[in-house]
Amino acid sequence: MTPDEPETLVLHLRAARLKARELAVAEVVALLRDLDAQPANGGPLAETRGVAWVSLPAEHKATAAARLCRLGYSEAVDIVESPGDEHPERPVRLTRWRRRAVALRSVYSEPDPLLREDAPDRRTFLLQCGDGMVRPVVGYRGGGRVLEHRALPVVDARLLVNLVHAPNRGVLLDPYAGAGGVVLEAVRAGWSTVSLDSDPSLRFGLAAFGAQHLVADATALPLRPRSVDAVATEPPYHRSAKHDVSASIGEMARVLRPGGRASLLVAADQLEGLTEAGRAHGFQLDLATAVDRKGTAVACLVMTR
Ligand SMILES: C[S@@+](CC[C@H](N)C(=O)[O-])C[C@H]1O[C@@H](n2cnc3c(N)ncnc32)[C@H](O)[C@@H]1O
């Protein structure tokens, strides 16, 4: 590549999120926002399923490569180089792009099986059981009632945390913390994490994941205005929760500092109402898109205060 040409990153999407290209790109762009990363329209391997591209100025190549870790929707990322530039210690794949030979050097790779250990069905969660005793439960996936479906897949939890990435981190709030998927990822990404859930039986498990935990209502957050730097969360999907989830958007706006971001994975039929609520509470809308995956129809919403 010539020195003034932007660098191209090639993202290889995870098998379970092969069609979620917009979100996979948004995740990497968010992680590299301060390095001027941008979605790119094309790149090598265009004929391959589940590939997407991000470009960034050449001077940020090394910083960007070092920063990519714990990705949700991409299982691997390559950087495009001239065939002579390869680093012998990194795997390289040769291909052609724009009528010339290029080398794809791997800068991130974390195949799905490596995520299995952190998956909700393998994790241990400290749960207060019906008899009042607190017990470690392996594979706890949430209660069965309509407002209680929990245990987000690791890839979605990572996506939500990465979409609100800030170079200096700070305090991240999950006001619908459930079985703690987002909380675990936020702690691991270096955030001081505040988790909140109205269900008191979750308080030991969430605190054990390293969060400061509050048993409270997301529609009346016991937090000072502008006291958190980011929100990442998955509110309840059920129709009966629509009103409360909308009301909690106003609370997120109140406690977020100006410039802070909120990422939400929501039921698809809540998206329009929540987008409106976000605008009404002074949020700028960054992204509102359906997530192409199996199961309940969901959408991802990202807003800036
Ligand atoms: C979809 S689950 C969150 C799942 C979580 N992301 C995970 O990975 O386990 C929604 C959670 O919101 C909680 N919840 C429901 N209404 C609430 C409210 N008004 N305030 C706070 N938490 C609430 C439920 O107890 C449930 O744990």
Per DSSP, the residues of 110-144 read --GGGGGGGSTTTSEEEEE-TTS-EEEEET--B-S
Using a 6 Å cutoff on CB, does residue 205 contact ligand 1?
A: no
Q: Which of 176, 238, 249, 251 maximizes ligand 1 atoms within 8 Å of its Cβ, making it the mutation to test the pocket?
A: 176
What is the atom index within ligand 1 of the atom nearest the CA of 176? 12
What is the atom index within ligand 1 of the atom nearest the CA of 248? 19
- Are residues 73 and 43 part of one domain? yes
Q: Which domain does 284 fall in, by range?
A: 116-304
What is the atom index within ligand 1 of the atom nearest the CA of 219? 19
The reply to whether 252 falls in a domain is: yes
What is the atom index within ligand 1 of the atom nearest the CA of 141? 9
pLDDT of residue 90: 62
The reply to whether 188 falls in a domain is: yes
| C-alpha distances out from residue 185 to 30, 82, 86, 153, 274, Å | 16, 35, 32, 11, 24
- Centre of ligand 1 to C-alpha 19, Å, is 27
Using a 6 Å cutoff on CB, does residue 179 contact ligand 1?
A: yes
| Type of residue found at 181 | G
- Are residues 213 and 120 part of one domain? yes
H helix runs in the chain, sequence order: 21-31, 61-67, 154-163, 181-188, 203-208, 242-255, 271-280
pLDDT of residue 147: 62
What is the atom index within ligand 1 of the atom nearest the CA of 244? 19
Strand partners, 10: 53, 78
By C-alpha distance, which of 116, 40, 120 is closest to 77?
Answer: 40
- What's the total number of domains in the chain? 2
CATH code, domain carrying 266: 3.40.50.150
The reply to whether 207 falls in a domain is: yes
* Torsion 155-160-163-167 (CA) sign: negative
Using a 6 Å cutoff on CB, does residue 189 contact ligand 1?
A: no
- Centre of ligand 1 to C-alpha 147, Å, is 7
pLDDT of residue 6: 87
The residue out of 110, 132, 162 marking a domain boundary is 110
- Centre of ligand 1 to C-alpha 173, Å, is 13
- Are residues 123 and 83 part of one domain? no
The reply to whether 2 falls in a domain is: no
Using a 6 Å cutoff on CB, does residue 219 contact ligand 1?
A: yes
Q: Token pair of 36, please?
A: 């001027």
Task: Walk along the chain (305 residues) and give the pLDDT tens digit of each residue.
Answer: 665 678 999 999 999 999 999 999 999 999 999 999 999 999 999 999 999 999 999 999 889 988 999 999 999 999 998 877 656 566 688 889 888 889 999 999 999 888 888 888 888 999 999 899 999 999 888 776 666 666 899 999 999 999 999 999 999 999 999 999 999 999 999 999 999 999 999 999 999 998 899 999 999 999 999 999 999 999 999 888 889 999 999 999 999 999 999 999 999 999 999 999 999 999 999 999 999 887 789 999 999 99
What is the rounded (10 degree) CA torsion for 245, 249, 255, 258? 160
Using a 6 Å cutoff on CB, does residue 185 contact ligand 1?
A: no
pLDDT of residue 86: 55
Using a 6 Å cutoff on CB, does residue 242 contact ligand 1?
A: no
pLDDT of residue 118: 83
Q: Model's pTM, two decimal places?
A: 0.95
Q: How far apart are CA 212 and CA 273, in angstroms?
A: 30
- Are residues 138 and 175 part of one domain? yes
Counting every residue written for the chain, the total comes to 305
* Torsion 55-60-65-67 (CA) sign: negative
